[in-house]
Amino acid sequence: MGYKTAMLIFGVLSAILIPIFWPDPEPPVLPDMWWGRGKLLFDPAKFPKDNPAVRPFRVNVMNETLRDLNRRLDNTRLSDPLDNVQFQYGFRSDYLKKVIDYWRNTYDWRKEEKRLNQYDQFLTQIEGIDIHFLHIKPTKTNPKMKVLPLMLIHGWPGSVVEFYKILPLLVTPSGDRDFVFEVICPSIPGYGYSEAPHQPGFSMADAARVFVKLMDRLGFPKFYVQGGDWGSAISTVISAVYPKKYCYIFRL
């Protein structure tokens, strides 16, 4: 047997046997944190208790807020654009005038607000901040239909609105499969209607821990998870740190 052949056999056997006999490392532990307002706390024993209530939420912007926006749009002051260029030096102010005109005279916020409210939304406090999420249950089920909890995590600079078109396909049973999804779409803290952390240091690992706590609170000890962009990074942390929590992971 030649040297190269022996090394090849050794490599193949190592690839087969090492995963079998080498114990899996213990996943890291992400300690609880607190992101609410006030003095920065380091002792978990001193963290204020979260309010575990899950509260219904609807988007409802006050009329005065919309009037204030319109006043600001009406009072916009723009510099003159450079001649003979497109967007090489930044956003062209002559095109921005068209955007402002659309916002002011065509865009219908109340129509969009109604679209945003077509799915059930909630808030719940986790680690001192309110977490916003959609929770959409299957439209119809039967005893033979498996209902699978699925968390969808958006990215930057997106929001849960990214999922609005696909949600009906996920929660509506189909005759060619024996399962349907129950979907939870959380807003990353600081995005959409999730409260931003008030303390420094919040990371994707912290978002992963917060979202696992959310699923626990909703009664899902195991769940599927999909994420894109920052959602992909957060779902990767969930799979690595909480391997017993997730069922399968999809990353984009």
| Interval 50-100: pLDDT, tens | 999 999 999 999 999 999 999 999 999 998 988 898 999 888 999 999 999
Distance between CA atoms of residues 173 and 143, nearest Å: 12
Taking residues 137-154, report their average pLDDT. Answer: 89
Greatest mean pLDDT range, 60-64, 170-174, 237-241: 60-64
| Residue 235 pLDDT greater than 60, yes or no | yes
Residue 49 near residue 106, CB atoms below 8 Å: no
Q: How many CB atoms lie within 10 A of CB 206?
A: 20
Residue at token pair 């992909």 = 232
β-strand 246-251 against 146-153: which pairing, if any?
Answer: unpaired
22-31 residues labelled b (16+ CB within 10 A) or e (exposed)? eeeeeeeebe
Please report, for the chain, the start and end positions of each structural domain, with discontinuous segments joined by +.
31-59+120-252, 60-116
pLDDT category, 174, cuts 50, 70, 90?
confident
Q: What is the dihedral of CA 52, 199, 195, 129, to 10 degrees?
A: 0
Task: Let me know if domain 31-59+120-252 sits in CATH 3.30.70.120.
Answer: no
Instruction: Decide: helix, strand or coil at residue 44.
Output: helix
Indicate the pTM of the whole model.
Answer: 0.84
